[in-house]
Structure 1
């Protein structure tokens, strides 16, 4: 079913949340397409059924859109109050449609990142949870992906939960949300939303694995490096996604990037963000072939200042949570993407603000925070214990 046709017929599903301007209308999320998935790359063996779904939502710019994801149901029968629901949010995979974890397959260059949460998800399924896994806005469906933009990530997360609960009456009220890397930003941003945005669902806990924070400062510190190569290619891939994400959310920043903010070389590579996943963006024939000092154009200082403002306004450090909500944060002591010093500082700042934080770290890198089997077991047990 075409996106335009679905949304044109969705008139009764429009809603204006209390307290928002009447001009800001959100589409009530509904699952509009389902497709059974048998490929074990996506359909985990612990699931009784796996569906690839498309659901109505609202874009970061406030217009109707469609998002995608997967819905996995457990093998155990639902208890009297219904299955609890977990929303798992994936780590950075890129912004192109081909990067959608719901379309993962053997041999995909992003596969390790697409499935980084499987050890946690499989344990939640064994514990009798339904698991919803959103692809995020613009990944797998039309439109750009607002990378690390909290409003978009929160909406993807909450609307997938609401659409899932509406789709299957066997799902109860209780929900937990978790995520890794970019997905940790999504989980925290969704958990900070008012309870009214969760509808009939009752958010019980949030788990954030290696959440990026102080990204603006990290980018600024590397912006003058004059050489390209293996030491900075991953950073350059992230920089491409960060800039593209800011442009997806802010039309003025989008215009600035194309009109002097980026160098000619970087601007020529910009379309690759919509065709390549993260690993390929780090390649020598993409942003990975540029030095950080080669990114900016004649209006580069202006663009850097604007990007700093956007990143700081979306930093998870600015989020506030209900004092009754349990928050778990995990980090890796040798993580170079989300440095342990910054993540532990985030947990400390949350505690100072009155948040109930469980913090843990382990000797591992960025990916290992989710993929380490022992850590995954601990995190899954903690989420289950909150219901």
Structure 2
């Protein structure tokens, strides 16, 4: 099947997703890199020290600014709380092959007088907004539904470096890279380099920072925490908050194929496949999707807000008989991909707060608990809190997160539930 044309095939379904889900208004070998730009990946002479490591000789290029433009039309909810708001394009390496890429982010500074040492920074990882190039939140005036959380962080006195992640910069393949959905090393780099980019354009920002994110961004926040000791040199990391994190999706592959999945998980599979294809373009969608769902893969060209993602998953997951994998080999391939990306990848003693709901049907509580148990077994400092009655989209607990972050920036020791 020609999946380039199938991405445009089911226009009605895509329109349904867009109408119900959007906020405001085939990958090349070079991964969209700039051949004249700096190589910010690991050098051939210095092998990486771990999954998140990078050569120190390339340090000056990470987070370097390509372009910065004011975000003049932000939703008032955000704009009224920001003394400065910029959309930046900055350099950050691929976690897959180390190739230099350009990534975009929204950089927002609180109003008022900065504290001594400068505004502390939150590297914010957004939940799933889509896998198409136009789905970076910094391209939307309400940041594709991220505004409420970001406004709360600004109110609490934190500058926010909100990366769009590689491939969501508005430049579609082959001119730009595809988005490697749920590939944690890339998003860890993107998160940390967004902090560097923020400090490059604003000298009122501190070198102290924390990571925070929800769902896809929860994975990014956790991965950034693991990467900070190796990749975050020159910065001072204090901790991370992972909200309903996509820490480990390997339970999707439990049992013989085709897998027995819930509606949301069936809907999640096409996104996961799209991320895998960004790493391995030889992936054949026909091994995993059939019928109207395969023909309607163009629905993934739509962008969603955090709330709209639930509707997208419901529609995409409405045809379980059309979802594989249909061979043992295909099942093994995707299982291996998910296992290689399961957190923790590189355990660290940096403090981590994990919030998750007991009614989450996208990332069930048991999946999160298994990831936390592995982290605890590796000696990590994890404060894991199950929120009764909360599903994937209703964790809340903003005050709890901010109080926890305040304590980390104040230098207080973190509690552990391990």
Q: Give the shorter-chain TM-score range.
A: 0.7 to 0.9
User: Secondary structure of the equivalent of 2:283?
Assistant: helix
Give the whole-Å Cα distance in 2 for the aligned partners of 1:57 and 1:327.
24
Q: Any residues of structure 2 matched to 1:99-138 within 5 Å, and which?
A: 99-105=135-141, 111=144, 114-115=145-146, 118-119=148-149, 121-138=150-167
Give the whole-Å Cα distance in 1 for the aligned partners of 2:381 and 2:32.
45
CA contact (8 A) 2:213 2:242 kept: yes
- The change in CA–CA distance for 1:297 and 1:40 in structure 2 (over 3 A counts) is closer
Q: Any residues of structure 2 matched to 1:232-381 within 5 Å, and which?
A: 232=263, 234-249=264-279, 251=280, 254-258=281-285, 260=287, 262-263=289-290, 266-275=293-302, 277=304, 278=309, 281-282=312-313, 287-291=316-320, 293-296=321-324, 300-316=327-343, 318-323=344-349, 325-363=350-388, 364-369=390-395, 372=396, 375-381=397-403
1:68 matched residue in structure 2: 104
| Alpha-carbon offset, residue 240 of structure 1 | 0.5
User: Secondary structure of the equivalent of 2:404?
Assistant: helix
Among candidates 373, 384, 387, match of residue 406 of structure 2: 384
Offset from partner CA, 1:301-336 (integer Å, 9 cap, x none): 2111100001011011x333332x111111111111
Instruction: Tell me the TM-score normalized by structure 2.
Output: 0.75
2:414 matched residue in structure 1: none
Structure 2 residue 115 is matched with structure 1 residue 85? no
- The change in CA–CA distance for 1:73 and 1:223 in structure 2 (over 3 A counts) is farther
Offset from partner CA, 1:169-217 (integer Å, 9 cap, x none): 2222111001111101111111111524113111110111111244122
| Alpha-carbon offset, residue 77 of structure 1 | 2.0
Give the whole-Å Cα distance in 1 for the aligned partners of 2:218 and 2:137.
16
Offset from partner CA, 1:347-372 (integer Å, 9 cap, x none): 33322322121121222111111xx2
Relative contact order, higher structure (CA 8 A, sep 6+): 2
CA contact (8 A) 1:124 1:384 kept: no
Q: How many residues of Structure 1 are paired with residues of Structure 2 in the alignment?
A: 359
Give the whole-Å Cα distance in 1 for the aligned partners of 2:192 and 2:156.
22
Cα RMSD after superposing both structures = 3.3
Structure 2 residue 198 is matched with structure 1 residue 172? no
2:74 matched residue in structure 1: 39
CA contact (8 A) 2:64 2:91 kept: yes
Give the whole-Å Cα distance in 2 for the aligned partners of 1:314 and 1:11.
27
Q: Any residues of structure 2 matched to 1:192-207 within 5 Å, and which?
A: 192-193=226-227, 195-207=229-241
CA contact (8 A) 1:15 1:28 kept: no
**Which one is further off, 200-209 or 147-156?**
147-156
| Alpha-carbon offset, residue 281 of structure 1 | 4.8
Offset from partner CA, 1:263-288 (integer Å, 9 cap, x none): 4655434454345555675475xx44
Among candidates 27, 35, 48, match of residue 83 of structure 2: 48
**Which one is further off, 268-277 or 45-54?**
268-277
2:168 matched residue in structure 1: 139
- The change in CA–CA distance for 1:11 and 1:378 in structure 2 (over 3 A counts) is closer
User: Secondary structure of the equivalent of 2:108?
Assistant: strand
CA contact (8 A) 2:353 2:384 kept: yes
- Structure 1 residues without counterparts, runs of 5 or longer: none
Instruction: Tell me the TM-score normalized by structure 1.
Output: 0.81
CA contact (8 A) 1:331 1:344 kept: no
